[in-house]
Structure 1
Amino acid sequence: MTTDSVVTSFALVRAGATTHSTDNDQRRVPLTFRLTGTEAYEVTVPADPGAALPGTYFLFALNAQGVPSKAKMLNLG
């Protein structure tokens, strides 16, 4: 993944279910990452399937002030 600015953290946010008033599957999963080049990063999804259930997620990059990027949608299988 490449960015146009310095990133201090990454997180996945599970897409919400529109069929429930309470979404028990909603979660935010912090990701480990490493810098691989100038503003290029490699992120790692937790190996524990209970932490990041299969499904659709929004991937956010956050700067030092905690401001998130525009999300990228991805599917974990």
Structure 2
Amino acid sequence: MTTDSVVTSFALVRAGAATHSTDNDQRRVPLTFHRTGTGAYEVTVPADPGVALPGTYFLFALNAQGGPAKPR
């Protein structure tokens, strides 16, 4: 992934279920990463299948201000 600014954290956020008022499967999974170049990063997804259950996730890259880092 390449971004327009320095990234300080990555996280996966599982999409919520539209049919339930409470979704026990909704989760935020922090990811480990390392910088591979200017604005480029390699992200590691947890190997434990119980942490990141199968499904649809959004990938968030956050900058030092806690805002989104835009992909390039």
- TM-score (norm: length of structure 1): 0.86
The structure where strand makes up a greater share of residues is: 1
Task: Name the count of aligned residue pairs.
Answer: 71
| Unaligned residue ranges in structure 1 (runs of 5+) | 71-77
Partners in 2 of 1:58 and 1:50 — Cα distance? 17
- In the other structure, the counterpart of 1:59 is 59
Q: What SS does structure 2 have at the residue aligned with 1:19?
A: coil
Structure 2 segments unaligned to the other structure (5+ residues): none
| CA distance 1:63–1:23, shift in 2 (3 Å) | same
Residue 56 of structure 1 aligns with an amino acid whose one-letter code is T
Identity between Structure 1 and Structure 2 (%): 90
Q: How many Å apart are 1:49 and its aligned residue?
A: 0.6
Relative contact order, higher structure (CA 8 A, sep 6+)? 2
